[in-house]
Structure formats: structure tokens, C-alpha cells
Copies of this chain bind each other. A is one copy, B any other.
């Protein structure tokens, strides 16, 4: 889960960052509206948190530009208490949800999860794949009610593959989505991780497309 936090207040941004990272998101932060705009335009995030009062280019403009360029990444906006017109404007500009400052971080996390789910077209936070059930809320994969005891990193990998079911995903893409930016070019961490997941869920859960990447196995 890759999330962009566009927020100029350092304290807020840091609170968000730590909580989101703890919740398993990969956070990138931007304090300038214009820069935030082009990152949201050129990169693929799973969800974006957007403060409306940004320097350089205000959040509403940023959002409108994304939408008019066809970017459908779910956006959650942050507004100050009492500024209800802002919220209305935001929703009309294409925001998917909003949270009022000051906020509870858990609330943000919950809303983000909901947004991502909705965007993926998954009705619930629980997804069935093959004989397994992936539950995003409790971060668990189970089979017939029996939990599978995945480690956090393994869980991230499975979530991402399930999320992009039906596609082949390169090692680079996996690295970018489940690791923080410090990725070494020649590391076989992903391969090892895949092996570990296979050892737990069965070898055919993840299939290898040599030279291309990985995908969920047939029937998953």
C-alpha cells in the first residue's frame, strides 16, 4: 500500500507517517502543493491524503487537476474544523472522503482502508482467494478459519498480489510497493520472501513468470 501524504504541517505529517507505517502503509510525504500534484500525477499511489491548505498550489486545485487529467486515485482530504464549505468544495472537486482536523489517527487509517477497498471494488475488507481468506482489518490470512501465521512482510506481499490479481508483477514493482525507498538494485529479498510465502501457503499460490515477475497462481 503506497500512500502520498500532502501536508505542510510537519507535526501532523509526522504523526500520520508513523501511524500509517505502523499500519503497514508505505508513506511518501510532500509539503508543497505543486510537487504533490505532479507526484500524484506521475506515480501510482493506492491512496492520497491531501491537506487543502498547501503552499504553492492549494489542495483543491491540485485535486481538480488530477481529476481533469483522469487520475482516479482515491483522495482523502483534511480540512479544519468548521470549514464545512471546504468539504463541500472538496467533494465536488472529486475527493472520496474527508476528515476534520484535529483527527484521531485510527480514524484516518480506517478510512484509508475503506477507500482502498472501495477503489479496488472489494465490497468488504475480507477477500477470498482460492481456499484462503485475506482479512485486511486484522492482517491475517486464514484457511477454513485456521489462521496462517504470516509475518508482516509476507502478509504485505500476499495482499499486494491479491490486490493486483490477474496481473504479472515485476520484482521491481513489488519492491517499490512493499519496501521503503531504500531498495538495493541487486538483492534477492523478494525471491526469498516469495519462497517463504510459498512454504506457508503452498507452492502454487504464487507462480513465477521467469523474466517477467510473479502472479497469483491459477485458481487464486
Contact with B along A69-107 (1 / 0, CB 8 A): 000000000000000100100000000111000000000
CB distance from A24 to the nearest CB of B (A): 11
State A210–B150 Cα separation when bound (angstroms): 10
Which residues does chain B contribute within 8 Å of A194, judged by CB atoms? none
Contact of A87 among B34, B96, B114, B211 (CB under 8 A): B34
- Can you tell how many copies of this chain the complex includes? 2
State A122–B42 Cα separation when bound (angstroms): 13
State A138–B210 Cα separation when bound (angstroms): 12
Contact check, B211 vs A98: say whether CB atoms are below 8 A apart: no
Which residues does chain B contribute within 8 Å of A152, judged by CB atoms? 210-212
Q: Does residue A43 face the partner (Cβ distance < 8 Å to B)?
A: yes
The range of chain A's interface size is: 20 to 34
> Contacts A34-B87, A84-B34: A42 and B114 contacting too (C-beta < 8 A)?
yes
Tell me the interface secondary structure of chain A in the complex.
Answer: mixed
Which A residues between 126 and 163 are near B, CB-CB below 8 angstroms? 137-140, 151-152, 155
Other 10 A-B pairs with CB < 8 A, given A38-B97, A42-B118, A138-B168: A34-B87, A42-B96, A43-B114, A56-B84, A138-B209, A139-B168, A139-B209, A139-B212, A151-B210, A151-B211
Residues of A within 8 A of B (CB): 34, 38, 41-44, 56, 84, 87, 96-98, 111, 114-115, 118, 137-140, 151-152, 155, 166-168, 209-213, 215
Q: 14 A–B contact pairs at CB < 8 A? A: A42-B97, A42-B114, A43-B114, A44-B114, A56-B84, A137-B168, A138-B166, A138-B168, A139-B212, A139-B213, A151-B210, A152-B210, A152-B212, A155-B212
